[in-house]
Amino acid sequence: MSFNISAWSIRNPIPTLVLMLSLTLGGLVCYPFLGIDENPNIDVPTVLVTVTQQGADPAELETQITKKIEDSVAGLGNIDQINSQINDGISVTSVTFTLGTDSDRATNDVRNSVAQVRQNLPQDANDPHRGALGLFWRTDRNL
């Protein structure tokens, strides 16, 4: 003998309606107490690499600095996206890793990768150890 729920519900509509109404009422009562955030706390591991070179035009920065940095970090694992923005005298490369990647490890990996290519960059490009506008690392947390 098989128990057919739909046949039983058709023969006994009152318990079915009471169950449906009680579940609907319970959902409506509990809905305001759900923890819903408009802006959830998400750790998006993003590393910004900024290189400045006084007097350099964007085309020069692209070929001499930005392409080399992009190529050096492209081999790292778990990369979601690499974006670069170039203006007069400044190149900003944003390396976004997949969710779940440790931000500190991603920062160290990018730092090591750029340090290996640093000798191929122009000599007048600011060095990481020369002031705050040189080459710096920032992880954007809680975007």
- 52 plus 21 within the same structural domain: no
Give the Cα separation of 91 and 34 in Å (integer).
44
Question: Is 140 exposed, middle or buried (CB count within 10 Å of its CB: 0-12, 13-18, 19+)?
Answer: middle
The mean-pLDDT minimum among 4-8, 20-24, 38-42, 45-49 falls in: 38-42
Q: Alpha carbon 63 to chain centroid distance? A: 26
Percent of the chain with pLDDT over 90: 16
What 57-66 contacts at long range (C-beta under 8 Å, 24+ apart), as own/partner pairs, is: 57/88, 58/86, 58/87, 58/88, 61/86, 61/89, 61/90, 61/91, 62/86, 62/91, 64/121, 64/122, 64/125, 65/91, 65/121, 65/122, 65/125, 66/91, 66/93
The residue range of the domain holding 52 is 46-139
Give the Cα separation of 39 and 142 in Å (integer).
9
**Mean pLDDT confidence for 7-12:** 89
- 100 plus 120 within the same structural domain: yes
Q: Please name which of 110, 116, 117, 100 lies closest in space to residue 136, comparing C-alpha atoms.
A: 110
Task: Tell me how many domains the chain contains.
Answer: 2
Query: Is residue 28, in this structure, part of any structural domain at all?
Result: yes
- 15 plus 81 within the same structural domain: no
Query: Is residue 41, in this structure, part of any structural domain at all?
Result: no
- 28 plus 87 within the same structural domain: no
- 26 plus 88 within the same structural domain: no
- 78 plus 131 within the same structural domain: yes
- 17 plus 71 within the same structural domain: no
- 106 plus 132 within the same structural domain: yes
pLDDT tens, residue by residue, 90-107: 888 888 888 888 888 888
Query: Is residue 114, in this structure, part of any structural domain at all?
Result: yes
- 28 plus 67 within the same structural domain: no
Q: Is the pLDDT of residue 87 over 80?
A: yes
Residues 6+ apart with CB under 8 A from 54: 89, 124
- 72 plus 129 within the same structural domain: yes
Question: Is 100 exposed, middle or buried (CB count within 10 Å of its CB: 0-12, 13-18, 19+)?
Answer: exposed
Query: Is residue 77, in this structure, part of any structural domain at all?
Result: yes
